Homo-oligomer: A and B are copies of this chain.
Amino acid sequence: MSWQPLEQLVAQIDDGARVAIPPDYSGVAMAATFALLSRGVRDLHLVAVPQAGLQADLLIGAGCVKIMEAAGVSLGEIGLAPRFREWAQQGRLQMMDATCPAIQSGLQAAEKGIPFMPIRGILGSDLVALRDQWQVIDNPYGEDDPILLVPAIRPDVALFHAPLADSRGNVWVGVRRELMLMAHASATTLVTVEENYDGDLLADPVYAAGTIPHFYITGTSLAPGGMRPLGFFGDGSVTDSEHLIRYEKLARSEEGFFQYLEEQKIQLAGVNQ
């Protein structure tokens, strides 16, 4: 394994792929997302781990997303995610509404190679009826004790931005271990990286504790600033609120959304409008 150009990295995401993406506070691969938009990827099944924001809204607005699996989609304190909202309201998006721990448990089931995971709570939520694959069984270790089962979630691709990687492909994520869970659970893991780590991350016991070993990583691209305009746990940078406020305003209409893309110099290939 070694570093590869960003275009080569995103070329490994096929149309129709099930792609796991992290929440806005946990290393979103925005540069890779812009590259995907330019490529005109189609029919993605996005799995938000467990929620999504700008990244999902952009991909939805550009017609790249078929299925949205998430516990929540919003722009956080900026407000609702306008393209998500409109597409969902118009029924143009196959929604798989979830709750955060159900997505975590589904990924953990995939990580453990088991078909399902039991989970407490959730019963009585309308989510249960919506989700065909969620089953309620009687707890074999209890009496008259219904418990929910959620199936394993096995993404084709995990895509995220990380602070450090070394030339062997080891990737440091620190306490953001949902990224490690995504890598364990996914068939392919693609990572854009803020900075090269000169050495072997696994050889240092303090760095090793927050490192995803290279044998889970399919490809890494050096992409400094690859999370912008979102904030990043890696360098402590915060989200560019003004950027998001402007996006939220423009993207309330389809015209405004495409104006935003133009302003960002994102050329869409074959927009499916």
A residues within 8 Å of B by Cβ?
105, 112-120, 133, 135, 137, 139-142, 145, 147, 149, 151, 173-175, 205-210, 233
Q: Specify which chain B residues have a CB less than 8 angstroms from the CB of A145 in the assembled complex.
A: 115
Q: How far is the CA of A118 from the CA of B115 in the complex (A)?
A: 8
Known contacts: A120-B114, A175-B209. The answer to whether A140 contacts B149 by CB under 8 A is yes
Q: How far is the CA of A209 from the CA of B140 in the complex (A)?
A: 36
A-B contact pairs, 29 of them (CB 8 A): A113-B120, A114-B117, A114-B118, A114-B119, A114-B120, A115-B139, A115-B141, A115-B142, A115-B145, A115-B147, A116-B118, A116-B139, A116-B140, A133-B141, A135-B140, A135-B141, A137-B140, A140-B149, A141-B149, A174-B205, A174-B209, A175-B205, A175-B208, A175-B209, A205-B233, A206-B206, A206-B210, A209-B210, A210-B210
Known contacts: A113-B120, A142-B115. The answer to whether A206 contacts B208 by CB under 8 A is no
Q: Is the CB of B116 within 8 A of A112?
A: no
A124 to chain B, nearest CB (A): 17
The 6 lowest CB-CB distance pairs between A and B, nearest first, are A209-B210, A115-B141, A174-B209, A209-B209, A114-B118, A174-B205
Report the nearest B residue to A205, measured CB to CB: B174
A106 to chain B, nearest CB (A): 12
A119 to chain B, nearest CB (A): 6
Q: How far is the CA of A181 from the CA of B200 in the complex (A)?
A: 26
Report the nearest B residue to A136, measured CB to CB: B140
Q: How far is the CA of A105 from the CA of B117 in the complex (A)?
A: 11
Extra A-B contacts (7), CB below 8 Å, given A114-B119, A137-B140? A115-B139, A115-B147, A135-B140, A174-B209, A175-B208, A175-B209, A206-B210
Report the nearest B residue to A209, measured CB to CB: B210
Q: Specify which chain B residues have a CB less than 8 angstroms from the CB of A208 in the assembled complex.
A: 174-175
Q: Specify which chain B residues have a CB less than 8 angstroms from the CB of A141 in the assembled complex.
A: 115-116, 133, 135, 149, 151
